[in-house]
Structures are given as structure tokens and as C-alpha cells.
């Protein structure tokens, strides 16, 4: 697991972008108060998901409105039809840690 940042750096309902050993991640503090990590690029267009809107456990791409489930990476709204990689997250002592092995088996 790789330390990303402090939990306080990602307020609830927001996302930040993080470059982790050359992999761009969107670190998301979901409305369910959980932290998620997804590959920071929409599977429909090469756009940063970290700039999108968070609603519940979904992240919406700002360009075309594709939505992705933060837990599974599966698209929940068109035009995207391919899932994005999601990564395991651990919170320890107020710090966010992420593994770069996708938990949903999707590679970029």
C-alpha cells in the first residue's frame, strides 16, 4: 500500500487527482463517507474523472456525463460502456493508502 494523503485533504463529496508511480488516480471521498480510488480517466474519452461530480457512490465525467460506480468501476450511465480500474483503499491513522493492483481486475 502506498500513502497518498491525509483524509482531511479530501473533503466529503470531493475528489483529488494523484500521480502514484506514473498511474493517475482519482481519490474520492464518497457521500457514504468512504474513500475510493479509481483510474483518473474516463473509459469513454480521455478526460480526468477527478474533475467530475460525485453523487452517492458514483462519479460523473464532466464532459459527456458518463457515470461510474466507485465500488466496482462499472459504468452506470452512458455513453461509457467499459469499466474503469478501481483500487483498494485503506485508511490508517487519518492517512489514505492505495494499492496499485486493481480490485476489479480491469487494466487500463
pLDDT tens readout for residues 90-102: 999 999 999 999 9
Cα–Cα nearest to 43, from 15, 85, 14? 85
Longest Cα separation, the chain: 39
Can you give the pLDDT at residue 108?
80
| Confidence tier at 53 by pLDDT (50, 70, 90) | very high
With a CB cutoff of 8 Å and minimum separation 6, the contacts of 33 are 12
pLDDT at 79 over 90: yes
Cα–Cα nearest to 88, from 98, 79, 75, 74? 98
Distance CA 70, CA 93 (A): 23
Amino acid at each position: 500500500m502506498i500513502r497518498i494523503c491525509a483524509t482531511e485533504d479530501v473533503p466529503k463529496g470531493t475528489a483529488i487527482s494523484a500521480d502514484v508511480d506514473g498511474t493517475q488516480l482519482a481519490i474520492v471521498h464518497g457521500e457514504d463517507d468512504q474513500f475510493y480510488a479509481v483510474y483518473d480517466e474516463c473509459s469513454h474519452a480521455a478526460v480526468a474523472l477527478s474533475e467530475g461530480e460525485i453523487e452517492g457512490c458514483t462519479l460523473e465525467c464532466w464532459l459527456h456525463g458518463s457515470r461510474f460506480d466507485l465500488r466496482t468501476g462499472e459504468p452506470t450511465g452512458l455513453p461509457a460502456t467499459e469499466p474503469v480500474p478501481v483500487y483498494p483503499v485503506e485508511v490508517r491513522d487519518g492517512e489514505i493508502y492505495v494499492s496499485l493492483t486493481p480490485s476489479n481486475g480491469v487494466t487500463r
